[in-house]
Amino acid sequence: MLAVRGANGAGKSSLLRLIAGLLRPSAGLLALDGGDEELSIGEQAHYVGHQDPLKPSLRVAENLAFWRDLFGGSGDIIGGLEELGASALAQVPALYLSAGQRRRVSLARLLLVPRPIWLLDEPNSSLDERGQMLLTRIMEKHLARGGMIVAATHGALGATPTRQLLLASKMGRVRASEAAL
């Protein structure tokens, strides 16, 4: 697990988007050592960004079914929601969810389609204490199964990162340094 830290604008979200394949590097190459050579890094990763991609008119279960089917998964929607304490929301239209509920539903997508890499941008955003605890639990399970997590964060993550990357921005240039934990 890598925790990516830095001030606003330092490039944390951009780094995650580069890894996910949503942005192209202006120079150089991103490669995954030990990954599936037939797939891009983005195809081997889940990206959970700042905005929760839920269609307001669809119920929670319908939103999750869309994402699961789009990415070729077969995970149990209700089981995924249960792991994040949100199973009671399955039939609620996404329009009526609070910010914390939206975040829990978005994080449930991680459990529906197995991918070795999770790219999480401020994953604790809008979560209450219980939500943060449940997120920690699913992160620890993913890591225990040999998964990788790259998380951009300003605060504590719950699960203990094994490495930390500090990004600093100065006059439009990004400087990275590894920090000891």
Q: Give 144's pLDDT tier (boundaries 50, 70, 90).
A: very high
Query: In this predicted structure, what is the pLDDT of residue 35?
Result: 81
pLDDT confidence of residue 157: 83
pLDDT above 90: residue 30: no
DSSP string, 10-24: SSHHHHHHHHHTSS-
Residue 178 is predicted with a pLDDT of 62
At 95-130, the pLDDT tens digits run 999 999 999 999 999 999 989 999 999 999 999 999
pLDDT at position 31 is: 79
d(CA 132, CA 80): 15
CA atoms of 34 and 167, how far apart (whole Å): 26
Given a cut of 80, is residue 60 above it in pLDDT? yes
More confident site: 142 or 175: 142
Structure tokens at 160: 């203990």
Q: What is the mean pLDDT of residues 30-47?
A: 87
Please check the confidence at residue 177 and state whether its pLDDT lies above 70: no
Residue 42 binned pLDDT confidence (cut-offs 50, 70, 90): confident
Domains of the chain by range and CATH? 2-24+42-179 (3.40.50.300)
d(CA 87, CA 11): 35
Mean pLDDT of the chain: 90
Q: What pLDDT shows up at residue 155?
A: 81
Q: What pLDDT score was predicted for residue 47?
A: 95
Give the per-residue pLDDT at 179.
Answer: 58
Q: Using the structure block, give the residue that is written with the tokens 């604008």.
A: 9
User: d(Cα 114, Cα 72) in Å, to the nearest integer?
Assistant: 10
Q: Tell me the whole-structure pTM to 2 decimals.
A: 0.89
Express as a percent the part of the chain with pLDDT over 70. 93
